[in-house]
A and B are shown apart, each in its own frame.
Chain A
Amino acid sequence: SQTIHQWPATLVQPVGSPLSLECTVEGTSNPNLYWYRQAAGRGLQLLFYSVGIGQISSEVPQNLSASRPQDRQFILSSKKLLLSDSGFYLCAWDDEAEAFFGQGTRLTVV
């Protein structure tokens, strides 16, 4: 069966520090992969999506970046976090009629 792993579950980072969130998928090949951010009580903002290794589309210009070094691995990074980067980050994959999410990372930048 298909599973998606996302870690860590919670993270508290100081302003200006780097960030690396990792997401891996099992049980499927060549999935579309996504990173979303959700502010408290709000909708999901699409940050990045990838249709294949090394192929990244950015939806929102900001100090975040994404990479897909392997077929089933998607990484969200930042060189210097801002207070406004706080939020709930969700990784997801989809394949035709199915789309599934990781458990999310709650990031607090202090």
Chain B
Amino acid sequence: AQKITQTQPGMFVQEKEAVTLDCTYDTSDPSYGLFWYKQPSSGEMIFLIYQGSYDQQNATEGRYSLNFQKARKSANLVISASQLGDSAMYFCAMRGNQAGTALIFGKGTTLSVSS
């Protein structure tokens, strides 16, 4: 069975600072993908970044980077130079690459960015 754990219900950061949102996972699949999503108050789910389990380098997308530590089964999201618009709920997700494996989510972390 697969499991995603986000242990930080809420995080607070000031503008221009970096912040790390934690995510750990558990799976028996040898090959899997890890995702991060942002959900602002409007409710839409915005895809941020993807990391494949066999990718040698950590994924980066603009100010977002994924700190992937396979041995520790962690996939933390790092947001550099936080902006007020980054205030939202953030979800970590995982899907095994075997056919028929579903995309599952953690419980989310609410990020609040202050000026």
Which residues of A approach B to under 8 Å, CB–CB? 32, 34, 36, 41-44, 46, 49, 51, 57, 59, 88, 90, 92, 94, 96-101, 103-104, 106
Cβ-defined contact, A88 with B47, below 8 A:
no
Cβ-defined contact, A99 with B93, below 8 A:
yes
Instruction: Give which listed residue, B47, B91, B93, B105, contacts A100 with CB less than 8 A.
Output: B47
Closest to A48 in B: B102
Which residues of B approach A to under 8 Å, CB–CB? 33, 35, 37, 43-45, 47, 50, 52, 89, 91, 93, 95, 99-100, 102-108, 110
Q: Return A19 CB to nearest CB of chain B, in Å.
A: 19
Cβ-defined contact, A92 with B103, below 8 A:
yes
* Cα–Cα distance between A32 and B101 once the two chains are bound (Å): 9
Cβ-defined contact, A101 with B102, below 8 A:
no
Cβ-defined contact, B102 with A49, below 8 A:
yes
Q: Cβ of A99: which chain B residues have Cβ within 8 Å of it? A: 35, 47, 93, 95, 103
Kindly count the residue-residue contacts between A and B in the assembled complex, taking CB atoms under 8 Å apart: 54
Cβ-defined contact, B102 with A92, below 8 A:
no
Q: Cβ of B50: which chain A residues have Cβ within 8 Å of it? A: 97-98
Cβ-defined contact, B45 with A34, below 8 A:
no
Q: Cβ of A88: which chain B residues have Cβ within 8 Å of it? A: 43
- Given known contacts A97-B50, A98-B50, is B44 in contact with A43 (CB within 8 Å)? no
Q: Return B14 CB to nearest CB of chain A, in Å.
A: 23
Q: Return A4 CB to nearest CB of chain B, in Å.
A: 10
Closest to B100 in A: A51
- Given known contacts A94-B95, A97-B50, A99-B93, is B43 in contact with A104 (CB within 8 Å)? yes
Q: Cβ of B103: which chain A residues have Cβ within 8 Å of it? A: 32, 34, 46, 49, 92, 94, 99
Instruction: Give which listed residue, A42, A57, A101, contacts B45 with CB less than 8 A.
Output: A101
Instruction: Give which listed residue, B45, B100, B110, contacts A92 with CB less than 8 A.
Output: B45
